[in-house]
Chains A and B, each alone.
Chain A
Amino acid sequence: MAKAKRRDLARGNAIAGYMFILPFIIGFVLFLLIPLVSSLYMSFTEVDALGKQGFTYTWIGLKNYNEVFFINEKYVPNLLTQLKNMALFVPGILVFSFFMAVLLNQDFHGRTFVRAVYFLPVILSSGIMVGLETNNSLLSSMKDLIEADTSSVSITKTLESILLTGQSASKFFQYVIDLVNQVYDIAIASGIQIIIFLSGLQTISPSMYEAAKIEGCTAWESFWKITFPMISSMILVNMVYTIVDFCTKSNSDLMTLITNTLYMNFEYGLTAAMSWVYFVIIMGILGILSFILTRWVYYYD
């Protein structure tokens, strides 16, 4: 009797579990999975959207992919530039946002205000701003302003030439200098990441730090032994987010190429093929990185 009742409870829980996840699954299948699969199918076809009976598909096999890799002169170079930029930016953004989040998590007056300031780029860089950019000189003049301000004096340029003439410049120096030159872009791109790290930092229970302090732990030690492991899952989240955000940003050359193919040339099949190649490559990179990182992420239980 007791056993039967327990099984019922377990089954009830399982049903509750499925009820919890069902709405999401329906939405996911309907608005992401089905479109994804049909776009994969379309990448093997020639889509005629301007015909009389709506959309017509003609199967052309790998012709679109052939075009992507061997005929289109812009796709492969753009893809490589994009990947190179990603390798430069993503670690930079992660380190920067982690650093800023730790600073912003400290207790000081006006903290709310400062945090709000750090969130601004997220608001500014998305949606309406990007949309208005095409019609308005605001962003372009902003860029001119920045360039005009920085072209005359450049500490990094000088430093770079000193290091290069001193023969001590390795690839690493080059990397650091590239990062410093891009610091504005990095700062602007890390608003969301800072928030994710911040909310992660706030879930760490203060009693842990207290206990560590009583045991004689210094701040430096408790940073590496408490903060860092506790936040490691958020590092994974942020890495994924940063890569996705960076790769789907609409202002890169590659994305412009893809959008133009769609909206200017109406070559839907080709656009789908281009996107799928890009998608598979990013997925591969993310897969490898997540695989490495998950082994090292610490889950508190």
Chain B
Amino acid sequence: MKKIKAGRQPNRSLAGDIGVGIVLVLFGCFFAFPLVYVINSAFKPLDELFVFPPRLFVRNPTTKNISDMFLLMNKQGVITFTRYAFNSLLITVVGTAGHILIASMAAYVLAKYRFPGSLTFFKMVTVALMFTGYVLAIPNYLIMARLGWVNTYLALIIPAFASPMGLFLMKQFMESSIPDVLVEAAKIDGAREGRIFFTIVMPLVKPAILTLMIFSIQGLWNNVGTTYIYSEELKTLPFALRTLAAGGVARTGVSSASTLFMMILPVVCFILAQSNIVETMASSGIKE
């Protein structure tokens, strides 16, 4: 797994490389522990789930939990599993795409231009980051009701567009990684704002975009969304899985399986994004 590259740099000592490897493996175990536990739990038969003290590794693996999950899901009502999955997927994809576009557009303007109120606005965004979400639930609901968005996808998708975290991250990132000279040069060559943004700024902040994408997918994919959604056919996958898991002690196996299931999309997205991030940011496009 962690083979050290043969062509080592001359000023890197072998002992140093081994040290780094050890540290990575050690902390990697910490990080991997919950995942190993979740995977193992998903395959444990019911009796093994309640063994005390709990065991990390499964003894007699079974796929019953997973098949139970699908079975229960389709038995529950008229709404099929695929419909829940579609709802969640739609919210995640549209919400993430919109969020990245809107947040980076605003961030570009805030990072590269000064206009009346720009600093105040950014400060307000930073402050809003810190507010605990629970208290906003009721005022938010009132607004959704007034807009007529209750019980539509819009109530889940549109607020995700304006999440302050994305703007904050993108602005800081653009400020530090896009030289003003580059934007100026493009302007002198006659590029309009839209063109500068899409062909120069966005490709340069690709790592930040992918980071933001991971964030956003993570948040939206796990969105239970029961506050605004009542119709069963609009409800999300996490909601459906949570309802299943709430069925009592006998459903412990099913709930472990559903936890594993919910993890698949974020993990896959991360791995894909990760391999794209690598080495794309070799140079900031400027030679002094």
Contact = CB atoms under 8 A, between A and B. Distances in A.
Nearest to B159: A31
Given A129-B259, A135-B246, A279 B132 contact: yes
For this complex, into which size category does the number of interface residues on chain A fall? 35 or more
B242 A109 contact: no
A207 B283 contact: yes
B193 to A, nearest CB: 4
A158 to B, nearest CB: 20
A131 B242 contact: yes
Contacts of B110: 21
Contact of A233 (B35, B172, B180, B274): B172
Q: Is the interface of A mostly helix, strand, loop or mixed?
A: helix
Interface in B105-155: 105-106, 108-110, 113, 115, 121, 124-140, 142-143
B222 A28 contact: no
Interface in A251-290: 255, 258-259, 262, 268, 271-272, 275-276, 278-279, 282-283, 286, 290
Interface string A62-76: 000000000000000
A237 B168 contact: yes
A51 interface: no
Contacts of A258: 132, 134-135
Contacts of B181: 301
Contacts of A34: 139, 143
Interface string A110-136: 111111111111111111110110011
A90 interface: no
Contact of A137 (B49, B210, B246, B278): B49
A166 interface: no
B143 A35 contact: yes
A299 B135 CA distance: 36
B169 A108 contact: no
A16 B194 contact: yes
B221 interface: yes
Contact of B219 (A107, A127, A191, A262): A127
Most buried by B among A14, A126, A128, A233: A128
A129 B113 CA distance: 41
B263 interface: yes
Contacts of A224: none
A262 B138 CA distance: 10
A95 interface: no
Contacts of B241: 128
A202 B252 contact: no
B24 interface: yes
A120 B39 CA distance: 12
A188 B53 contact: no
B262 interface: yes
Given A116-B271, A184-B30, A271 B135 contact: yes
Interface in B27-69: 27-28, 30-32, 34-35, 37-38, 41, 49-50, 53-54, 56
A47 B141 CA distance: 15
B227 to A, nearest CB: 12
B176 A275 contact: no
Most buried by B among A25, A112, A124, A268: A124
A7 to B, nearest CB: 15
A66 B234 CA distance: 43
Contact of A127 (B105, B115, B218, B278): B218
Given A128-B222, A136-B255, A299-B176, A145 B126 contact: no
Given A25-B106, A112-B271, A233-B176, A196 B136 contact: no
A24 B134 contact: no
Most buried by B among A17, A31, A111, A219: A31
A30 interface: yes
Contacts of B267: 116, 120, 123
Interface of A: 13-14, 16-18, 20-21, 23-28, 30-36, 38-39, 42, 47, 49, 55, 100, 103-104, 106-129, 131-132, 135-138, 141-142, 144-145, 148, 183-184, 187-188, 191-192, 195-196, 198-200, 202-203, 205-207, 218-219, 230, 233-234, 236-237, 240-241, 243-244, 247-248, 255, 258-259, 262, 268, 271-272, 275-276, 278-279, 282-283, 286, 290, 299-301
Given A27-B159, A135-B245, A202-B280, 14 more contacts: A20-B105, A21-B121, A38-B142, A42-B139, A110-B2, A117-B32, A124-B38, A137-B49, A144-B54, A188-B31, A198-B277, A199-B208, A258-B135, A286-B126
